[in-house]
Every structure is written in C-alpha cells, then in structure tokens.
Amino acid sequence: MATYNYVAKDALGKVITGTSEAENEQILVRRLREKGYWVQKVNPARAAARPQARRKGSKGFTFGRISGRDLAVFCRQFATMIDAGVSLVRCLAVLEEQTGSARLRQITREIQGAVESGETLSRSLSRWPRVFSNLFVGLVRAGEIGGVLDETLNRLSTFLEENERLRRKVKSAMTYPVLVLIFATAVVIGLVTFILPQFVQVFHDLGISDTLPAPTRILIQISNFVTTKWYMVIIGSALLVISVSQYTRTQIGRRHSDWFKLKAPVFGALNHKIALARFSRTLSTLLTSGVPILQSLETVAGAVDNAIMSDAILSARSAIREGEQIGDPLQRSGMFPPMVVQMVAIGEETGSLDGMLSKVAEFYESEVDATLASLTAMLEPLLIVTLGVIVGFIVISMFMPLISAISQLQQGT
C-alpha cells in the first residue's frame, strides 16, 4: 500500500493532520469521510529510506520495464521453491540469478536484503508499489498469515498470466486499426502539403484560381494553413495533449475520463466487460486465498483501474459493513449486470462466492474475446472506407477545376 499525508476537518471544524496507508487517494478520502471528516488535502508521503542491503559490487538502480509475464514466472518459480522447502532468503537469491529482467533482478536483491534484516516479505514488496500492486502485496500477506505462501503465489501467477493474456489480446486487436489510422493520416498530410500546392500553381497558370468551386477553395485554405503555419499545428496539438493529460490526472478529470470509457459508443461496452472480468477475477483470487471480504473489496476497488467502478465497489463495501449482502449494493450501483448480481448472490448464499466469481470472470473474458473479434472485423472496413472518402474528396476537389477548364476549352473550340 502507498502512504499518504492528509489534512481534514472534523465535525467541530478542528483541523486534523495525519498519515495513513491506502491503495490509492480515492480510497483514503472515502475512508476518512466514513469517519465523519471533511478532507481538504491528500498528498503522497515520501517513501521511507530503503534498507541498505545491496551486495558487494552492486550497481545503482537499473531502469526498465517489468512485464506481467516476468512477474508471473517470478511467482511460479517462487512458489515451486517454497513448496520444496527452500528458505525464503535462498529463494530470493535464486530468483535474482534466474530472472531475465535487469530491473526485477535489482529489486529482488533489495527485497532479499530487507528480508534478511527481519522484515516480512509482504512489507518488503510494498516498498515497490509500481512493480508489485496492492493485489500482489495483499495476497502475499494473506499467504504469510495463513502459512500457505506457495499456494498463494501459484494463484497469483495464474492471475497474472490470465491478466497478461487479456492485455495482449486487446493490444493485438487494436494494432491493425491503429496502423491503418496512422497510414491514413500520413497519406492525407502528404496530399495536402505536397501534391495540392502543385495543383494550385496549375490553377494559377490556367487563370482559373478566382473561379474555383467551394470544396477546392476550402481544401486550398487548409493546405495553406498547414504549410505556412505548421508550427501552430504542432504547438496546438502538443498543448491539447498536455492539457488533456493533466486534466485526467486530477480527481474530477479522471472520473470524467473513466465515465467516458464506460459510455463511449464503440469501445464503452468493451471497457465495461474488461472491468467486470478484472473485478471478478481479482475478487475470486483474493477470497480463495483467504483474504476477508471487506479487505478484498478495498483491494479490488484499487485494481479495477476505473474510478466509477471503484466507487460502486466501495459503496458495496460500506453496505456490507453495515450488514447488507453483497448483491444488493452491486445491483443499486447500476454498474453490474443482473447476471453478475445473481451469480454473486447465489455464491454468497451457498458459501461458494469465490467459485461463482471465477465463473463470472471466465464468462466475461470470453465476452471480451468475442467483442474484440467483432470490433476488429468492423473497424477494418470502416477505417478503409473513411480513408477512401477523405482521399476521394481531396482528389475530386483537385480535379474538378481542371475538368471544368477542359470543358470550357472544348466548348470554345
């Protein structure tokens, strides 16, 4: 969990400052509001100094990306060695040598030093929140408490493999449409900035530049702006990207962005299904590992990566704490389909909630696969047709004056 400093006021208006751990700022704010505080400010606390546990000859921190596959292999090998009775420190030493990621190797070395100093494994992992998620740390903590660390790591490895498989499918499905879009943009820019100016010169030489049709004049104005004020286009685009990026980093901006992701005409249904699959798979994994329901829901709220879904999950958590069943608040939120609500309710009644959630996750993962296939099949011809319409408009706008001039010459002769 990350650590945050907060400033709040109680019911009497007294200013209260403090430090607390939470999955994210939103969960901490909600937790403080439940206590009756009015939150004024929440900021990430500076990380505590890490134990000086580098081995002799260790170099500085190595940058690089750690993929989900790297973490899945890390967990699988870790579980195998723990199950074989290898000590925790020895497991970490072997994992440091075996991993192919330079950054993960460095982090494993730091974790080994912390464990040797007497720190728990889950606490050591929590020092690297960008690498080991709240779900990862929570499951390891549950495995430590229950004495089933090997089983927990195996479940975590399976979860990471499924999550990585889903991410790869989404990325691969979007690769072709993105390439077509980039190609279309390059073609349009080339026609407007290089080809069209040559035609403008021809129109001027023929003396028809004052009698051009409206589409051609519009196209020429666009071409003149792009070729003469290209720096304004670049600056404007950069400012737009930066503004949107900064706005989505704010709390209200992120909520608007996440709401749009769920309600977008084409991709909204896909994003909603991905969020439901992640919710079901994560909660099932946590419950199977013995994590209490309230703690599980708090962790899941930070793992779904959508503020709207997170609010619905946290509302369900509050209702459960007040004595309600989990299905009722999920239904009231409007973010969970009737099938999910009913499956959850049946699982809660029969004492097999983790199994029911696993079935829900499998269903929505298959739904994501089907939706991706249909979207890809729909987007490919749509993009090609759109490219054809744009290029056709440019070509027709360029040749219309020439055809008109040729017709006038033929009538004159």
3-state secondary structure of 19: strand
Highest mean pLDDT among 36-50, 183-197, 354-368, 374-388: 354-368
pLDDT tens for residues 221-245?
888 887 788 888 889 889 998 998 8
pLDDT at 223: 81
Q: DSSP letters of 34-81? A: HTT-EEEEEEEPPPPPPP--PPTT--SPPP----HHHHHHHHHHHHHH
Beta-bridged to residue 2, according to DSSP, are 22
| Count of positions (residues) in the chain | 413
Q: Taking all residues of the chain, what is their mean pLDDT, rounded to a whole number? A: 81
Most confident of 99-103, 123-127, 196-200: 123-127
Q: What was the pLDDT predicted at 242?
A: 92
Can you tell me the mean pLDDT for 20-42?
75
Q: What's the angle, vertex CA 290, arms to CA 333 and CA 104, rounded to 5?
A: 95
Fold topology of 162-413 = Receptor-associated Protein (1.20.81)
Residue type, 122: S
Q: At a CB cut-off of 8 Å and minimum separation 6, what does 135 contact?
A: 156, 159, 282, 285, 286, 299, 300, 303
The pLDDT-based confidence of 102 (bands split at 50, 70, 90) is: confident
The pLDDT confidence band at residue 47, using thresholds 50, 70 and 90, is very low
Q: Say yes or no to pLDDT of 48 above 50.
A: no
Residues 64-85 pLDDT 10s: 567 778 888 888 888 888 888 8
| Mean pLDDT to the nearest integer, 161-188 | 79
Give the C-alpha separation, 274 to 345, whole Å. 21
3-state secondary structure of 86: coil
Reported as a pLDDT band with limits 50, 70 and 90, residue 46 is low
Average pLDDT over residues 30-50: 68
Flag the least confident range among 177-181, 316-320, 352-356: 177-181
For residue 412, what pLDDT band results from cuts at 50, 70 and 90? low
72 vs 161: CA distance, rounded Å: 6
Q: Which pLDDT belongs to residue 50?
A: 43
Look up residue 11 and give its two tokens: 């019911």
User: The whole model's pTM is what?
Assistant: 0.65
Binning pLDDT at 50, 70 and 90, where does residue 58 land?
Answer: very low
Confidence of residue 52 (pLDDT cuts 50, 70, 90): very low
Tell me, what's the pLDDT at 239? Answer: 92
Residue written as tokens 């080994």? 112
Tell me, letter by letter, the H, E, C secondary structure of 279-329. HHHHHHHHHHCCCCHHHHHHHHHHHCCCHHHHHHHHHHHHHHHCCCCCHHH
Reported as type and span, the H/E element at residue 246 is helix 230-249
- Mean pLDDT, rounded, for 273-289: 86
Query: Which uninterrupted H or E stretch holds 9?
Result: strand 2-9
Span 380-398, average pLDDT: 82
Q: In the predicted model, is pLDDT for residue 49 greater than 60?
A: no
Query: Can you give the pLDDT at residue 60?
Result: 44
Confidence of residue 411 (pLDDT cuts 50, 70, 90): low
Q: Tell me what pLDDT residue 23 has.
A: 65
Q: What is the pLDDT of residues 338-366, one digit of tens each?
A: 989 899 889 888 888 888 998 998 898 88
